[in-house]
């Protein structure tokens, strides 16, 4: 496979890149900072440093890729804050990166996609449930779910389009949010039936399934990979937290 991965230098995106390289696939990584991958470039790995909200950056990555068999839209940001005084420019920045850039990537990649290509976006449980202080992020991820359904209908049968829906995954951003008090580590663990945080590898493996032939009849789906977060409901009395992380 030849796969374009945005946000591939860290977090979930890096987990996907590691998986694909291990499988022997060719990968073009786009990230605003590719430093973590410098020195790993080869015939198998190409790097494009730039902001994926700029169409020219996406076009360059797709040009380098040539015929595209897969896309993983992993670039994203989360900036929590109360809605009453949330800056409009911050709202616009989150929508531009988390949603509009996904649309641009997929429609540009579709021009050179091979028959049977698979496009995967990263959604979130916050797009399916209400999280205080996450209006912009939640809206962007709910938009991703709607986008993949629309493009799945439009691009079939040539290209499949799906999303994975991660729960709480331990990345550098998550660690920073725990340290700053934005996320309560214990509440996340109490609220997750599997009793642990997810890892980038957990999400990457699900993405690998969606990219591969084993999922050849799966399109337009948003698949939770969340340790049971979305299925929790009220849970048991002894496990139900009294508040929820934002």
Interhelix angle 200-211/11-23, rounded to 10 degrees, is: 50
> What residues form DSSP beta bridges with 3?
27, 70
**120 CB neighbour count, 10 Å cutoff:** 28
Is residue 137 part of the annotated active site? The answer reads yes
Choice among 91, 137, 209, 232 that is catalytic: 137
What residues contact 228, with CB distance under 8 A and at least 6 apart? 192, 193, 194
The two structure tokens encoding residue 196: 């642990």
Residues marked active site are found at: 137
């Amino acid at each position: 496979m030849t796969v374009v991965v945005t946000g591939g230098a860290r977090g979930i995106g890096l987990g996907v890149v590691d998986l694909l390289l291990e499988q022997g696939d060719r990968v073009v990584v786009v990230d605003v900072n590719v430093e973590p991958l410098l020195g790993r470039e080869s015939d198998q790995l190409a790097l494009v440093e730039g902001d994926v909200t700029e169409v020219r950056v996406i076009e360059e990555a797709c040009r380098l890729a040539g015929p595209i068999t897969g896309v993983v839209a992993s670039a994203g940001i989360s900036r929590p804050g109360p809605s009453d005084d949330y800056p409009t420019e911050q709202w616009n920045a989150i929508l531009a990166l988390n949603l509009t850039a996904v649309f641009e990537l997929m429609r540009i990649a579709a021009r050179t996609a091979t028959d049977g290509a698979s496009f995967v976006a990263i959604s979130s449980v916050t797009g399916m449930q209400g999280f205080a202080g996450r209006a912009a992020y939640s809206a962007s991820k709910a938009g991703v779910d709607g986008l993949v359904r629309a493009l799945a209908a439009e691009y079939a049968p040539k290209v499949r389009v799906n999303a994975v829906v991660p729960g709480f995954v331990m990345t550098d951003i998550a660690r920073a949010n725990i340290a700053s008090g934005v996320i309560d580590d214990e509440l996340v663990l109490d609220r997750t039936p599997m009793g642990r945080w997810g890892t980038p590898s957990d999400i990457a493996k699900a993405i690998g399934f969606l990219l591969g032939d084993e999922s050849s009849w799966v399109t337009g789906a948003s698949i939770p990979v969340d340790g049971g977060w979305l299925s929790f409901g009220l849970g048991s009395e002894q496990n139900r937290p009294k508040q929820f992380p934002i």
